[in-house]
Structure 1
Amino acid sequence: MDTASSSSNSTMAEFDYLFKLLLIGDSGVGKSTLLLSFTSNTFEDLSPTIGLDYEKNCWGVVSDIIFLFLYHEAGQERFRTLTSSYYRGAQGIIMVYDVTRRETFTNLSDIWAKEIDLYSTNQDCIKMLVGNKVDKESERVVSKKEGIDFAREYGCLYLECSAKTRVNVEQCFEELVLKILDTPSLLAEGSAGVKKNIFKEIPPQSDASTSGCCSW
C-alpha cells in the first residue's frame, strides 16, 4: 500500500473512503512518535501530548484513494476529558504499549480495553495491538508470546514495531486498513456517499495539528 500524493486544492470529493483511526495507550508508549514515523518517515523524541492531537494522511490502494484521520489523546488521566467524542465513529483502534514497561501492557486490560467496550460506537470496529520500542530488545520485559495471547483473548490484530527504526510501522496501519476494507459495515460507513465532516467532531478546546500528504 503506497502513500498517495495530492495537490493543495484536494477536496474530500476526491477520496473513495474516509476512515477514522485511534491510537490509545499509556503516556510515553510512543503514540505520537509512531504517527510521526508513519506520516513523515522521521523520528523525534516528543513531549507528552496534552489533550487531543491528530494527523491526516491519504493512501492509494488498488484503484481507491483512502483518506485517514489518525487521532491520539493524552495518556495521562488528568488530560483525558474528551473520551466519548474521541471514540465516536472510529473504524479502527490501535492499542499501543511499550515492550520495556510492564505497566503499559497491564493497563491494556485494566483501562484501555474497558474504554473501548464503554465508548466505541462501532461494534465491528477493528482493533490492533502494537508493542512499540522493539529496538530496545535488551530492555524488553513483555514477551511476544504475551502480546499474542492478549491479542487472541481480545480479538485484535497484532504486531510489534519500532517508531525509531520504522520496523513494521507502515505494516501496522496497512494491516488495519486492509481489515477495515474487508469488513462490509465499516467499508460502507467510510464510503464517499456517507462521509461525515470529521472536522466537526474535533472538540473546540483541543489544540489539534494536522500534517501528512493531503490538504483541503
Structure 2
Amino acid sequence: MTDASEEHDDNPNGVKPIYRLKCVVVGDLGVGKTTLVRSFAEGPRTRSITAEPKSMWQKEIKMASYIVSLSIWDTAGQERYRSLTGSYYRGAHCCIVVFDVNCLDSFQNVKEWFQNMDENSTNPEEIIKILVGTKRGSSSRAVSLERAESLADHLGVSYKEVNFGSQNNIRELFESLADLTVLVYKENNFHSNIPVELPQYQQKKTYCSCG
C-alpha cells in the first residue's frame, strides 16, 4: 500500500504533503451551519450578520506529518428545499450533519439528512460522517446528550457538541474530522481518492491505496 507519508520521508527538504479534502455541512435551516463554518474558517471575531454570504470556505490545517487543505461547503439556503443534488455531494470526503440541541424538529430530521446524502452521493459509504449538536447560550435544551449519542450510535457515527458562546470544540471538531478522513482513506481501498500535492516539486499526485 502506497503511503504519502513515506514519500514525505524520502524528501530531503522535509516538505509536508498536502491532502485536499472536500467537506460538506448539512442540516435544517437555522441550526448554525454557517456560524459553525465561519467560526472555524475565519475566526470567532469575524462573525457578523452583515457578512457577505458564502457557499464555500477554504482552510489549511497543519498536522504533524502532513497538511490538509480543507474545502468546506455550506448549503447556502438550499436546505429549505429538503433536498440537495448530487452536484453538492460529488467529490466529498467527509460530512458534518448539524442540528440544534434546542430545536427538537432539527434533531428529528437528522435521519432524513443522512438518507438524502446516501441517495445523492456517488460513493456514500466512503464519506466520513459526524453528527454535531449546536448550542447557543444557556437555554434549556430540547434534546438530551444521551438521546443525541444514542442516535449517533444507531447511525454508526460519532457525536460532538459545540457551543457558539464559548466557541468550545469548534476547531477540534474540524481538525479531528480531517485527520480521521485522511487516516481512513489511507487504510482502505476507496474508489474516490484524495488529491495529494508535494509542494517543492509543484507536482500534483493522487493517493492510491491499491499500489
User: Cα distance, 1:41 vs. partner?
Assistant: 1.7
Which of 172, 194, 203 is the aligned partner of 2:206?
194
Q: 1:69 — aligned with what?
A: 71
- The structure that has the greater radius of gyration is 2
Q: 1:159 — aligned with what?
A: 160
Separation in 2 of the partners of 1:149 and 1:41?
31
Determine if the alignment matches structure 1 residue 54 to structure 2 residue 53: no
Separation in 2 of the partners of 1:155 and 1:181?
19
Q: 1:9 — aligned with what?
A: none
User: Cα distance, 1:188 vs. partner?
Assistant: 7.7
TM-score, length basis structure 1: 0.74
Q: Is the 8 A contact 2:86 2:122 kept in 1?
A: no
User: Cα distance, 1:39 vs. partner?
Assistant: 1.1
Q: 2:113 — aligned with what?
A: 112
Q: 2:96 corresponds to which letter in structure 1?
A: I
Alpha carbons of 1:28 and 1:22: their partners in 2 closer, same or farther (altered >3 Å)?
A: same
Which of 41, 44, 54 is the aligned partner of 2:43?
41
Q: Return 5+ residue gaps in structure 1 as ranges.
A: 1-13, 196-216
Q: 1:190 corresponds to which letter in structure 2?
A: I
Q: 1:26 — aligned with what?
A: 28
Paired residue secondary structure (1:59)? strand
Separation in 2 of the partners of 1:187 and 1:72?
24
Alpha carbons of 1:46 and 1:83: their partners in 2 closer, same or farther (altered >3 Å)?
A: farther
Which is further off, 117-126 or 36-45?
Answer: 36-45
Q: How does 1:75-114 map to 2 (within 5 A)?
A: 75-77=79-81, 83-109=85-111, 111-114=112-115
Q: 1:77 corresponds to which letter in structure 2?
A: Y
Q: 1:199 — aligned with what?
A: none
Q: Is the 8 A contact 1:20 1:71 kept in 2?
A: yes
Separation in 2 of the partners of 1:187 and 1:163?
36
Separation in 2 of the partners of 1:89 and 1:60?
22
TM-score, length basis structure 2: 0.75
Determine if the alignment matches structure 1 residue 168 to structure 2 residue 169: yes
Separation in 1 of the partners of 2:129 and 2:121?
11
Report how many aligned residue pairs link the two structures: 178
Q: How does 1:174-213 map to 2 (within 5 A)?
A: 174-183=175-184, 184=186, 185=188, 189-192=193-196, 193-194=205-206
Q: Is the 8 A contact 1:33 1:45 kept in 2?
A: no
Which is further off, 163-172 or 62-71?
Answer: 163-172
User: Relative contact order (alpha carbons < 8 A, sep ≥ 6): 1 or 2 greater?
Assistant: 1
User: Cα distance, 1:66 vs. partner?
Assistant: 1.1
Q: Is the 8 A contact 1:99 1:143 kept in 2?
A: yes
Q: 2:64 corresponds to which letter in structure 1?
A: V
Paired residue secondary structure (1:138)? coil
User: Cα distance, 1:187 vs. partner?
Assistant: 11
Alpha carbons of 1:67 and 1:83: their partners in 2 closer, same or farther (altered >3 Å)?
A: same
Q: Is the 8 A contact 1:180 1:187 kept in 2?
A: no
Q: 1:37 corresponds to which letter in structure 2?
A: S
Q: Return 5+ residue gaps in structure 2 as ranges.
A: 1-15, 197-204
